[in-house]
Structure 1
Amino acid sequence: MIKGNGVDIVEIERFKKIIEEKPKFLKRFFTASENEFFEKKQMKAETISGNFAAKEAVSKAFGTGVRGFNLVDIEVLRDELGQPYVNLYNGAKAIAHQKGIETLMVSISHSNENAIAFVIAVGEA
């Protein structure tokens, strides 16, 4: 059963500037595993902005926005085929449990200017 959905779109150029001007940004909003993934992808702003959009889309799928958890509590990685998936920690994990959300299906895409993510939260009836 669908428990919620969320979508977010961000400007890639904005993330290029943030990454250059505020190096602590990556450690504040992304896990160590996400930062390792970004390094493997040559720190491409479209990858980083796509992950950020996915985190925001998860918060919207929860129906809470970013309340009761930090964005670093949402981790977005890729499987061996490149499909994104979400791991939850701390407050985000507690909210998902409280709302009966068992799975978060995520899709990320980008153009030259924008990155977008769509999330569907799924759980038992």
Structure 2
Amino acid sequence: MIRTGRSGIDASSDKGMAPVGRRAASPSEIRNIFSQNLRILCKSRGSVSEVCRAIGVNRTQFSRYLAGDAFPRPDLLLRLCDYFEVDANILIRPVALPEEASQDILASTLSQYAKLLPGTEYPYG
């Protein structure tokens, strides 16, 4: 069944739909993921106040982002991405990796470190 909104536009179009096999995250889920990832990134930068000063946002509003109560405007999201040197996907998507990916990353990292140590080899990289 095709539904149309007040504008007469087909609401069942592919635009904005989740990929096949994956449901779209709700706004509250996106805010929660964003707040978790933002907290992780803030830990690497010292104080939250320092981050707020650097990106030009009020500390109270930033606390709402950290709590998952609000989501930043697009211009502020861009400033956050620039400040932390990350893509927006890093902020709004879960960062947990599947087990296979974690093992691949671990093996690659260990292999690179082994190359730095004379006489050491790691067989999986």
Structure label with greater radius of gyration:
2
Structure number having the greater helix percentage:
2
Same structural fold, with TM-score higher than 0.5 when normalized by the shorter chain: no
TM-score (normalizing by structure 2): 0.24
Whose relative contact order is higher, 1 or 2, with alpha carbons under 8 Å and at least 6 apart?
1
Structure number having the greater strand percentage:
1
